[in-house]
Amino acid sequence: MKNVSLSYNERRFIELIFRQKSISRSEISEQLELTGSSATRIAARLMEIGLIEDEVERLGAMGQPRRPIAIAPGKVFSAGINFALNTIDVAIIDLSGKVVSVRREGLKRSSPEAAAECANQLLERMLGEARISKDDVIGAGISVPANFSDHHGTVLPNALFSEYDNVDLDAVFGKIMGLEMTIENDGACAALGEYYFAEGHRHEIFFLYHLGHGFNGGVMLNGRLYRGAHGNSCVTGVLFPYGEPRPTGTDLVNELAKHGMVLDDVADLANVPADAEPVVSAWIERAAGQLEQAVRIATGFFDPNVIVIGGRLPSDLMQRLTARIAWKTLPGPSRGLKVAPVMASKLGADGGAVGAACVPFFARYFPGSIENGHNNYSNGRRSSAGE
């Protein structure tokens, strides 16, 4: 099943079922504008290779059973890796739309090889506990706070991750983990996770701002992750130059340090001491003001249905920050235009790992990764295990 190639319409079939969880053949035919015979033929092939299955749903004691189609659970899995300076998050998701497990573990500041070893050991334990064979994992996505360089597979990371500069991370992780790896920046991963595992798929145009070590973004346009010419779209940190106040987790860590409250990393913001509240409140007020302008800019460029604020901040801080923006009536980007509604991420700090795990599914099974007949992930950002 790992190496099965799907047609464009088969991918559309899979994605629609993934979104709906359960749907009849007639509904699929109508929504995808396929003939009944085409839908039946596609369903038969996907059942033959084990990706989907029939469900029986009774309408009443005397009624005929309705036979919707669902993705077969427990057949295909994907892993996601997201790391900070001193922690690593690993997620396992099922193609049927279930988050199987998300786990965080401490990570010593070390080389990419050591990070890959830590991720592999954690994943192996998680698979064992869930009784999942590694052979059923089609691959792993890596969420990195980085942009892509012009060299094959290498990245230009956030300044805090200098050890990863111009390292072919997908090759390093692939060799150690024995999986096909797909690397993506953290903003794009967060957007994918929110789109497929929260409410993002209900909107045609969906934009996300990612607050973590840096300030990044991701956008889904009609089910397609917009990546740009080199995979570097939505580098929204350009709005807030380095060395100046920024609406990022790193910036809050630095503010706390100025007041004698030293944290090692953004991940430690979940354990901020109670006496830090005045500093946190002041930061939220300032960061919200910056995000108000960012929201107006995203509205002007993309006209999205919704803008989600996500990232590595703890959920309570994210909720406070988003609420500070949402209650205000912001001026639109132009005369007569309103800003898009703003909401906090539903996945919270798990969004990075869950979103990274979505990348292999997106690249292999969903039509949004296909543009003009070519896979957007065949551009040097993907490697096979051991290459």
Per-residue pLDDT of the chain (387 residues; tens, 9 = 90+): 566 788 999 999 998 888 888 888 889 999 999 898 999 999 999 999 999 998 766 555 555 556 789 999 999 999 999 988 888 999 999 998 899 999 999 888 668 898 999 999 999 999 999 999 999 999 999 998 888 887 666 888 888 888 888 888 888 999 999 999 999 999 999 999 998 888 778 888 999 999 988 999 999 988 888 988 888 899 999 999 888 999 999 999 999 999 999 998 888 898 888 899 999 999 999 999 999 999 999 999 999 999 999 998 988 999 999 998 876 777 778 877 888 999 999 998 889 999 999 999 988 898 876 554 445 665 445 444 443
CA-to-CA distance for 248 and 267, rounded, in angstroms?
A: 12
pLDDT at 386: 43
- Count of residues making up the chain: 387
CA torsion angle 32 33 34 39 (round to 10): 40
At 283, the amino acid letter reads W
CA distance 124 to 137: 11
| Per-residue pLDDT, 64 | 55
**Tokens, residue 186:** 């953290």
The token pair at 196 is 């497929």
Q: How far apart are CA 287 and CA 242, in angstroms?
A: 15
Measured between alpha carbons, how far is 81 from 183 in angstroms, rounded to an integer?
10
Domains belonging to the chain, first-starting first, are: 8-71 (1.10.10.10), 77-190+351-383 (3.30.420.40), 198-348 (3.30.420.40)
**H-helix or E-strand containing 210?**
strand 205-211
Classify residue 74 by burial, with Cβ atoms within 10 Å: 0-12, 13-18, 19+. Answer: middle
Contact 158, 214 (CB under 8 A): yes
Between CA 120 and CA 105 the distance in angstroms is: 12
The tokens of 307 are what?
């803008």
DSSP-derived 3-state class of residue 245: coil
Q: Is the pTM of this model over 0.85?
A: yes
What residue type is 37 in one-letter code?
S
What residues have CB less than 8 Å from 157, skipping those under 6 apart? 144, 145, 146, 164, 165
pLDDT of residue 118: 93
DSSP 3-state assignment of 271?
A: helix
Question: Buried b / exposed e across 207-240, counting CB within 10 Å, b at 16+?
Answer: bbbbbbbbbbbbbbeebbbbbeeebebbebbebb
